[in-house]
Amino acid sequence: MKQPLIGKTLAQLEEVATGVGLRKFAASQMARRLYKLGAKDLSEFTELPKAAREDLARTYCVGRTAPVRESRSKDGTVKYLFPAHTPEVDYISGGLKGIDFEAVYIPDRDRATLCVSSQAGCRMGCEFCMTGRQGFHGSLTPAAIINQVLSIPESASLTNIVFMGMGEPLDNVDAVLQAIEVLTAPWGLAWSPKRITVSSIGKMDTLRRLLDETKVHIAISVHSPFSPQRKELMPVERAFPIEKVFALLRNYDFAHQRRLSAEYILWDGVNDTPAHADALARLIRGTSCRVNLIRFHAIPGFPHSTAEGPGMERFRDRLNDLGVTATIRTSRGEDIEAACGMLAGESSAQ
Ligand code: SF4
């Protein structure tokens, strides 16, 4: 196995460079090849002496791996399956076996969004989620996260990245923060943090780091404003009650243009009552949070079904009447099981 260079920060590339006898400056040249010029092989690092390239190749590789499978929706959404391992690279940290993981490309008029995974499976156990049903099979390395962005065919046309794929990003916070540094740094992919959203179920112990160390938009999955009901749907409520999550967010100084949103799946007759709308409005009061209402995509063994159009509109209108900006999110990729909560990777063939 080799160490992938994609996903490494400039400081880490400096260590790599000095480790093979190069000057620190070579790290900037390597970053340019990796992140600006899209190198796929060390032989493309032509600024470096041949002997240094050969030295590098003993331990390192670029680390780019194309998806092993794609599924195309009739609405243009594409689901890509990435391998947990290749003969050269482990994309799962901690020596775990992992499972292959998915990223979803969602074109929409002048936007092209990539929904990336941060873990293979998930240990958060949300009742309504296919990924949660799979259990936890490992966290993705920074290289695995960056590879999803660089190695889909539509990479050059992407306008937005959302960490809403498999896994809880804040359960893999070091790798996610490192990937965001690579995505946003001028020496890296130079993305504006305003085009990146990290979605979390409210893992408060690491939420503060995401707030302090990045400027990305934040989305919190709420799904019920009532603690007893939320505990049944999302075990995380026991450790980190949603009231406390929003108390933290209320007191946090959100810089201009940094967006906070609440994700809310609407189940018919479960969490779509006027009392839920009123409590949700109270929960987010004092923040600039807007609400995204999401249609539910049925999964086996979960007893509730989605609220349909009129129910969603009633809920949205009540929130709007209470002064909350609420919108209904268009559902994408349901026919290829790429919609919210439907992602499920596979046991790696390798
Ligand atoms: S909803 Fe998110 S945090 Fe919950 S089990 Fe699914 S992937 Fe994990």
Q: Which residue reads 């493309």 in tokens?
A: 44
Query: pLDDT (tens digit, 9 = 90+) per residue, 287-325?
Result: 999 999 999 988 889 999 999 989 999 999 999 999 999
Tell me the pLDDT band of 347, cut-offs 50, 70 and 90.
low
| Average pLDDT of span 262-278 | 97
Q: How far apart are CA 97 and CA 93, in angstroms?
A: 9
Q: Could you tell me which residues come within 8 angstroms of residue 253 by beta carbon, excluding any fewer than 6 positions away? A: none
Q: Are 77 and 338 within 8 A, CB to CB?
A: yes
Q: Which atom of ligand 1 is nearest to the CA of 234?
A: 4
Which residue owns the Cα nearest ligand 1 atom 5? 132
* Cβ-based neighbour number of residue 23 at 10 Å: 9
Q: Is residue 122 within 6 Å of ligand 1 at its C-beta?
A: yes
Q: Is 95 left (phi over 0), alpha (psi -120 to 50) or beta?
A: left
Which residue(s) pair with 281 in the sheet?
A: none
Q: Which atom of ligand 1 is nearest to the CA of 343?
A: 7
What local confidence, expressed as pLDDT, does residue 350 receive?
Answer: 36
What percentage of the chain reaches a pLDDT higher than 70?
98
Q: Any catalytic annotation for residue 102?
A: yes
Residues carrying CATH 3.20.20.70, the chain: 69-347
**Given the residues 14, 61, 102, 122, the one annotated as active site:** 102
Dmax over Cα atoms in the chain, in whole Å?
69
| Residue 254: band (very low, low, confident or very high) from pLDDT cuts 50, 70, 90 | confident
Given a cut of 80, whether residue 339 has pLDDT beyond it is no
Percent of the chain with pLDDT over 90: 89
Give the active site residue among 115, 129, 289, 340.
340
Percent of residues in the chain assigned helix, strand, coil, to nearest 5: 35, 20, 45
Verify whether ligand 1 is closer than 6 Å to residue 129 (CB atom).
Answer: yes
Task: In whole angstroms, give the CA distance from residue 350 to residue 348.
Answer: 5
Q: Per DSSP, which regions of the chain are E strands?
A: 3-4, 60-61, 69-72, 78-82, 99-108, 111-115, 119-121, 136-139, 160-163, 196-200, 217-221, 260-265, 290-294, 326-328, 346-347
CATH number of 3-61: 1.10.150.530
69-347 has which fold?
TIM Barrel (3.20.20)
The answer to whether the beta carbons of residues 298 and 268 sit under 8 Å apart is: no
Locate the ligand 1 atom nearest the alpha carbon of residue 119 and give its number.
7
DSSP 181: H
Q: State the pLDDT at residue 349.
A: 38
Q: What is the pLDDT of residues 22-36, one digit of tens each?
A: 999 999 999 999 999
Q: Pick the closest to residue 33 from 2, 6, 57, 67 (CA basis).
A: 6
What number is the average pLDDT over the span 270-276? 97
Question: CATH 1.10.150.530 spans which residues of the chain?
Answer: 3-61
220 has a pLDDT exceeding 60: yes
pLDDT at 129 over 60: yes
The answer to whether the beta carbons of residues 267 and 307 sit under 8 Å apart is yes
> Is the shortest distance between the CB of 265 and ligand 1 below 6 Å?
no
pTM: 0.96
User: Which stretches of 5-104 are DSSP H helices?
Assistant: 10-19, 26-31, 50-59
Q: For residue 46, how far is its CA from the centre of ligand 1 (angstroms)? A: 43
* Of the candidates 215, 293, 218, the residue with the CA atom closest to the CA atom of residue 250: 218
Residue having the nearest C-alpha atom to atom 7 of ligand 1? 167
CA–CA distance, 241 with 221 (Å, rounded to integer): 12
- pLDDT (0 to 100) of residue 291: 97
pLDDT of 256 reads 73
Q: Residue range 90-96: average pLDDT?
A: 92
Measured CA to CA, the distance from residue 115 to residue 118 in angstroms comes to 10
Average pLDDT of the residues of the chain: 94
- Residue 78's alpha-carbon distances to 90, 152, 174, in angstroms, are 24, 10, 28
Q: What is the mean pLDDT of residues 61-78?
A: 96
Nearest-angstrom CA–CA distance, 100 and 200: 21
Compute the distance between CA of residue 288 and CA of residue 220 in angstroms, rounded to an integer: 13
